Structure 1
Amino acid sequence: MKAITTILFILAVGCLAIYAICIYISALCKSRNPGISSLKEKREIALEGLAVIWTQRQKEESSPKKDEGEARKEPEKKQSGTHTPDTVSFRDPDLNTFYIENVRNKAGFPHGARQVAEGILEILDREGDCPSVVNTHGEIEASMEMGAYNRLARVTLREHAFDTAREMLCLIDPGPMTPMAIIAALGHDLGKIPAYRQHLYSLGDHPVISVTILDKIPGFSEMPNRGDIITAIRDHHRKPIDFFSIKLKEADQEARKKELARNFSLGDTRTGRESTSREEEPPKRAASAGRETIFWDDENKTEGRKRKGKPKEVEIPWYNGKAILQEIAGRINKVDEGRWEAFSMVNGYVYIQVGLLWSVAKKVARMNGDPSVLIADTDDELRANILYSIVERLKTEENAIARGLIRDGYFSAPFVVSMQDGTVHSKASYVPFNLEAFGMLTSELESQKYGKVREIVDVTPKW
């Protein structure tokens, strides 16, 4: 019994000792960490406190090593959604504006297309201060009147590229075609840059040089519509057949019209009108009826180059029928070194060279303050359309055209001209007028004849 009591006593003392040890340990922990409470105790912690802890943790994670921190820095930016600012900028402020408004960060402008557009804009920024026209051998603009050429030479290539691009954006609907329209418009005349013309020498073929330059711009060869852009650029001085090419040509023409209008009044600011301007020179006359024509409408050809389809009527706001007839009247039966532009016959008809009608049309347009017609010097199709429109209005409004001598849908007709010495010119093309339209008598005009025109004995329609 005594033994059992002793054992129970020892167990009680042990339990008390263990309890005392637990209390001691708990007190010791609280003394080292006063903020720690019992597991059952609830404690409110302010959000600012958690923020400090989180900030401290971020600081500790980013501090171990400098090189590791640099390696983590870029991925962290991407994950946070931070946008890297666009570093593309250009020297020319107008170019920067165009880029921001039409290219940079634009929806529907793929990365590859944007890369190509930036490449073209960089070239224009660096080299685009050159004139927008060239008159080297073989270039279509070499045939332009000097007055019009000089006015367009005041327009820089960069300005013309922007003008064409803006017109192009007006001609097409916004959408998938927009990037290729901007690229084609900005790049269509890059071949006029002097440095590239020297390096990529070509006889008057700036569209081909433009395509060669585009091919060297990173990303262009990978564009899915590369072929459409190339075709449009190559055909912008020809007769295009597909929608996109037609729109580029129209944009180029509209840009030129507005550029001429902007610079039209500047031609008279020095010493009267430009004395060297070809627009003041009399039109070139041919040596004989067989070589005096520009247009061959019996075969629907223009300057020896065959045209597809008949001409169509276009707007000619500068038109003044009476002024045109008055200008022509002063040239009838005039001979210069055996050459003539217009002659009358006793049958009451007056035969006008197409070249004379075109020269008079340009003069009347200038007199009415609209020089846009001058761009047709470099565009056979546009010139034919303007001439056709003039003839149609002279026919209906002035009753000036001899309807029985010209077929519908044409502005001139082929004739066989016979001379006193037996010479026959079978390839003469004229615009036939009624003599009454000039307010002159047949006898009056016949009395004014001299030289070669007196030797014309017969004019017969060829068709």
Structure 2
Amino acid sequence: MFLARLKRKLYKPRSKTIPLHRLAKLWLGVSTDNRPPQTGSVPADIPEWNAPELNSFYKSYVLPYYRVLGDSRAAIDQILHILDIGGNCPSVPPGEGEPCLEKIALRDHSIRVARFAVDMVKKAHRDHELLVGKVLIASLGHNIGLTTEGSVLGGNTAKSLLVLEPFISDLPFKQDIIEAIKTYNDNNPKGELARILRAANAAARKVELNTSRIFDGTANSLDLEKIKATINAYSMEDEK
């Protein structure tokens, strides 16, 4: 029963991507019903998205830091809104990476990367609250360009930065986010945020690859230890 639900969660139907021009209303700062009030306190009504996994993520990884996120909150809300609308697309560009990763929804992958990234920062920094804003933006938005149609010079990395630009333009750590998304896949990522993003993305992909290989029939026989490890990984995510 659990494995059936897990398989349905991983292999979601693909949805249409969002044309770049449809993001214009977000870039212009038009608020949505899901956006919490921009105050220093936790909102009285917790915002809800159509995707249940976004609601769970928000409660566990955004609300606890709501007071210290400051100007980062607006960018995080906008990214989550885009993932809610178009995040059911594949988490890799067509023809890139392992074919099985095309079955992993971008929304699920982005949330998983963000969870790993925040957890890593919590373990490594005593004052991790001060870093959570840029960590959430970079991890949730590192592949956000996949939600849009068309192509631009520089591929999906450039397209992701194009989508994020209006949301991060006034943030003091804008350049950290740009460098992280541009270089996290390089052999020598530039800056701590890029290294965090690289490690979190690798951890997320490991979980996704192991799970996909269990269900896609590439294994000659079911590896019970691998299944157990995968279930434990998902259980730990749900508990956070």
Verify same fold: TM over 0.5.
yes
C-alpha distance in 1, partners of 2:132/2:158? 23
Per the alignment, residue 129 of structure 1 pairs with 88
On the 8 A contact 2:66/2:73 being kept in 1, the answer is no
RMSD of aligned residue pairs (Cα, Å): 2.6
Amino acid at match of 1:119: Q
Listed as ranges, the matches of 1:107-118 within 5 Å are 107-118=66-77
Question: Does the alignment pair 1:213 with 2:213?
Answer: no
Larger radius of gyration: 1
Question: Does the alignment pair 1:96 with 2:58?
Answer: no
Per the alignment, residue 237 of structure 1 pairs with 185
Per the alignment, residue 228 of structure 1 pairs with 176
Per the alignment, residue 51 of structure 1 pairs with none
Residue 243 of structure 1: CA displacement? 1.5
Residues 105/249 of structure 1: CA separation in 2 closer, same or farther (3 Å cut): closer
Q: More strand by proportion, 1 or 2?
A: 1
Larger RCO of the pair (alpha carbons < 8 Å, separation 6+): 2
Per the alignment, residue 157 of structure 1 pairs with 106
Q: More helix by proportion, 1 or 2?
A: 2
C-alpha distance in 1, partners of 2:53/2:112? 12
On the 8 A contact 1:191/1:210 being kept in 2, the answer is yes
Per the alignment, residue 347 of structure 1 pairs with none
Residue 226 of structure 1: CA displacement? 0.8
Q: Deviations over 1:388-439 (max 9, x none)?
A: xxxxxxxxxxxxxxxxxxxxxxxxxxxxxxxxxxxxxxxxxxxxxxxxxxxx
Aligned-residue sequence identity (percent) comes to 29
Amino acid at match of 2:216: G
Residue 197 of structure 1: CA displacement? 3.6
Amino acid at match of 1:246: R
Structure 1: tracts of 5 or more residues without a match? 1-82, 274-365, 371-463
Amino acid at match of 1:266: F
C-alpha distance in 2, partners of 1:234/1:109? 26
Per the alignment, residue 45 of structure 2 pairs with 86
Q: Deviations over 1:7-42 (max 9, x none)?
A: xxxxxxxxxxxxxxxxxxxxxxxxxxxxxxxxxxxx
Decide which of 141, 144, 164 is 1:190's aligned counterpart.
Answer: 144
Amino acid at match of 1:233: I
Residue 170 of structure 1: CA displacement? 2.1
Per the alignment, residue 17 of structure 2 pairs with none
C-alpha distance in 1, partners of 2:180/2:215? 32
Residue 249 of structure 1: CA displacement? 0.8
Amino acid at match of 1:116: A
Decide which of 114, 134, 141 is 1:180's aligned counterpart.
Answer: 134
Amino acid at match of 1:252: N
C-alpha distance in 2, partners of 1:215/1:161? 18
Q: Deviations over 1:207-234 (max 9, x none)?
A: 11111101133xx211111110111011
Listed as ranges, the matches of 1:356-375 within 5 Å are none
Amino acid at match of 2:159: I
On the 8 A contact 1:231/1:245 being kept in 2, the answer is yes
Residue 112 of structure 1: CA displacement? 1.4
Listed as ranges, the matches of 1:268-283 within 5 Å are 268=217
Task: Give the TM-score normalised by structure 2.
Answer: 0.66
C-alpha distance in 2, partners of 1:234/1:161? 16
Structure 2: tracts of 5 or more residues without a match? 1-41, 228-240
Residue 171 of structure 1: CA displacement? 1.8
Residues 88/114 of structure 1: CA separation in 2 closer, same or farther (3 Å cut): same
